[in-house]
Structure 1
Amino acid sequence: MGRSLYRCIVITGILFIILGCVYPLFVTLTGRIFFPEESNGGIIYKDNKSIGAKLIGQNFFSPKYFHGRPSAAGEKGYDGLSSSPSNLATTNIKLYENIKSETKKILKENPTIKISDIPNDLVNASGSGLDPHISLQAALLQIPRVAHARKMSEDKLKTLIYSLLEKPALGIIGEENINVLLLNILVDEAKNEE
């Protein structure tokens, strides 16, 4: 009995050191060395003040900014503590109402487009509810509204969008997309330079 208890204590101690200390330290150091920006949360600073995170979306309501996709995370959206999809089935009337509401909002904000022009990602929340990206089509669709609100040329905005275009991982996984926060920062900077 005493020998068995001793073995259990030793094995527990070894596993505690490996899984509680060595492994977390290894993962943390690997992240810091190979992915320094991501391991620090991708925080973006302007004038020594954090204005957002590259990896977490945020709401933009002003017509002079590009808007991200809807978020099901929290009451106001993009709440990291409530990160989750809506989990509504395709047969759920609430999903239909959410999509209808988002579609109406987009058509009101962008009067030059047709309902068939609206990409899926502008009316459906992402799986995490925190996705900072929109598709290339979603960004291009918003150019007339942003150009009008900022009194900028549409060609200039298009150039900015393409400068931030992220290609699919390994060239095949996912689709081309744009980080909305980075785009809006770039648009602000371009407007300030004019």
Structure 2
Amino acid sequence: MKNNILPALRMSLVLILVLAVAYPALMWGIAQLSPNQGKGEIVTYQGKKYYSNVGQKFDNDNYFWSRPSAVDYNAAGSGASNKGATNPEYLKEVEARIANFQKHNPGIAKQEIPVDMITASGSGLDPHISVKAAEVQAKRIASLRQLSETKVLDLIKTETEKPALGLFGPEKINVLKLNIALDQLH
């Protein structure tokens, strides 16, 4: 018994020190080196402050829409719906999102709608959409804002974020920053 308990206690102590002290201290130190000391990127626009790393709700036709959120963009409680891809309730929800997207973006076929425009992210707080998701909305926005579609597509290219270190992740667009840039076109 003594041969098992003492090594287990030592291992527990080592893991507590590594996982509960050293690792959090290392992460805190790295955060202090980042812009805004790990508190997120704050964007000030028209006198209001927004966190650009937390999804914002944009569903006005004059703006690029955000990715749907299962938690209604509530940063206090992130999460997903936890419904499987074959759940009838979930399928109705996705079909309703498809119908709504097509209603507001006429001429876009069902198969042309990017998946990030009809499904929520795992956290419900994703601030980004894919480049394709922005491009399929360009015609609607150009028409409503009386801009050329080319000008809107150029703005999308300008606001596209490249993968980290050119390798990790896809190209993406921060919806908040894109919509602020869109407002500043006028």
Q: TM-score, normalised by structure 1?
A: 0.79
TM-aligned CA deviation for residue 36 of structure 1: 1.6
Count of paired positions: 171
Task: Please show how residues 76-155 of structure 1 align to structure 2 within 5 Å.
Answer: 77-155=72-150
Alignment root-mean-square deviation, CA: 2.2
Instruction: Mark the CA change 1:90 to 1:27 in structure 2 (over 3 Å): closer, same or farther.
Output: closer
TM-aligned CA deviation for residue 90 of structure 1: 1.5
Q: 1:25 & 1:144 partners in 2: Cα distance? A: 48
Q: 1:119 & 1:36 partners in 2: Cα distance? A: 32
Q: Deviations over 1:29-69 (max 9, x none)?
A: 43122x1247122111124431x211011111211100011
Q: 1:38 & 1:144 partners in 2: Cα distance? A: 39
Match of 1:4 in 2: none
TM-aligned CA deviation for residue 149 of structure 1: 1.1
| Unaligned runs of at least 5 residues, structure 2 | 1-12
Q: 1:45 & 1:82 partners in 2: Cα distance? A: 24
The match for 2:180 among 177, 185, 188 is: 185
Q: 1:90 & 1:172 partners in 2: Cα distance? A: 29
Match of 1:44 in 2: 43
TM-aligned CA deviation for residue 25 of structure 1: 5.8
Q: 2:52 & 2:137 partners in 1: Cα distance? A: 20
Q: Which consecutive segments of 4 or more residues in structure 1 shift more than 6 A?
A: none
TM-aligned CA deviation for residue 81 of structure 1: 1.6
Q: 1:181 & 1:49 partners in 2: Cα distance? A: 13
Q: 1:38 & 1:164 partners in 2: Cα distance? A: 24
Q: 1:47 & 1:64 partners in 2: Cα distance? A: 17
Q: 2:37 & 2:97 partners in 1: Cα distance? A: 31
Q: 1:96 & 1:49 partners in 2: Cα distance? A: 37
Is 2:125 the counterpart of 1:166? no
Q: 1:108 & 1:37 partners in 2: Cα distance? A: 41
- Percent identity for Structure 1 against Structure 2: 39
SS at structure 2 position matched to 1:108: helix
Match of 2:65 in 1: 67
Letter in 2 for 1:96: L
